Amino acid sequence: MTDESLILALRAELHRHNYNYYVLNAPTISDQEFDAKMRQLQDLEAQHPELFDANSPTQRVGSDLNNEFPTVVHKRPMLSLANTYNRQEVSEFFQRVQDGLHGAPFQICCELKFDGLSISLHYEYGRLVRAVTRGDGVQGDDVTANVRTIRSIPLQLPDGDWPEEFEIRGEVLLPWSSFDRLNRQREADGEPLFANPRNAASGTLKSKNSSTVAKRGLDAYLYYLLGDGIPGDGHYENLQAARRWGFQISEHMRLVDDLQGVFDYIDYWDTARRSLPVATDGIVLKVNSLAQQRSLGMTAKSPRWAIAYKFQAEQAETVLRQIVYQVGRTGAVTPVANMDPVLLAGTTVRRATLHNADVIQSLGLRIGDRVLVEKGGEIIPKIVGKAETQSVADGAENAGTAVAGTFISRCPVCGTPLVRYEGEAAHYCPNDTGCPPLILGRIEHFISRKAMNITSLGPETVDEYFRQGLIRDAADLYELTEEQLLRPAAGDQKGVRKILQSIEDSKAVPFERVLYAIGIRFVGEIAAKTLARNFGSMDAVAAASLDELMQINGIGLVIAQSVMQYFAEPKNRDFVGRLRQHGVQMQLSEERLSAQSDRLQGQAIVISGVFHHHSRDEYKALIEQHGGRNVGSISQKTSFVLAGENMGPAKLEKAEKLGVRIVGEDEFLKLIGE
Residues belonging to the active site: 113
C-alpha angle with apex 598: 595 to 604, nearest 5 degrees? 115
Find residue 124's DSSP bridge partners. Answer: 127, 165
Between β-strands 108-114 and 427-428, what pairing exists: parallel, antiparallel or unpaired? unpaired
What residues form DSSP beta bridges with 110?
Answer: 254, 285
Q: Could you tell me whether strands 117-124 and 165-173 are parallel, antiparallel, or unpaired per DSSP bridges?
A: antiparallel
E-strand stretches of 534-579 = none
CA 480 to chain centre: 29
Q: What are phi and psi of 497, to 5 degrees?
A: -65, -35
Residue 425 neighbours by CB under 8 Å, 6+ apart: 355, 356, 357, 358
Distances in Å between the Cα of 163 and the Cα atoms of 131, 168, 183, 227, 521 are 18, 12, 41, 8, 53
Give the ranges where 376-478 is alpha helix by DSSP (H).
Answer: 436-447, 459-467
Task: Give the length of the chain.
Answer: 674
* C-alpha to C-alpha distance for 5 and 52, rounded to whole angstroms: 14
**342: phi then psi, degrees, rounded to nearest 5:** -145, 145
Q: Which of 161, 154, 113, 158 is nearest to 131 (CA)?
A: 154
Query: For residues 188 and 180, what is the distance between their CA atoms, to the nearest angstrom?
Result: 12
CA angle, 594 then 598 then 601, to 5°: 150
Burial class (CB in 10 A: 0-12, 13-18, 19+), 405: exposed
Q: Taking the CB of residue 559, how many other CB atoms lie within 10 A of it?
A: 21
Select from 325, 284, 522 the least CA-distant residue to 415: 325
Count of C-beta atoms within a 10 Å radius of residue 576: 22
Q: Is 20 helix (H, G, I), strand (E, B) or coil?
A: helix
108-114: strand order across its sheet? 83-84, 306-310, 280-287, 108-114, 254-256
Q: Residue 593 in contact with residue 564, Cβ under 8 Å?
A: no
Contact 332, 321 (CB under 8 A): no
Is residue 378 packed enough to be buried (19+ CB in 10 Å), middle (13-18) or exposed (0-12)?
middle
Going by C-alpha positions, the residue among 490, 515, 504 that lies closest to residue 455 is 504
Cα-flanking dihedrals φ and ψ of residue 225, to 5°? -110, 130
Per-residue buried b or exposed e for 269-294, using 16+ beta carbons within 10 Å of the residue's own CB: beeebeebebbbbbbbbbbbbbebbe
Rounded to the nearest 10 degrees, the angle between the axes of helix 525-535 and helix 616-625 is 40
- For 62, which DSSP code? -
Asked if residues 382 and 374 have their Cβ atoms less than 8 Å apart, the reply is yes
Among candidates 87, 343, 114, which has minimal Cα distance to 220?
114
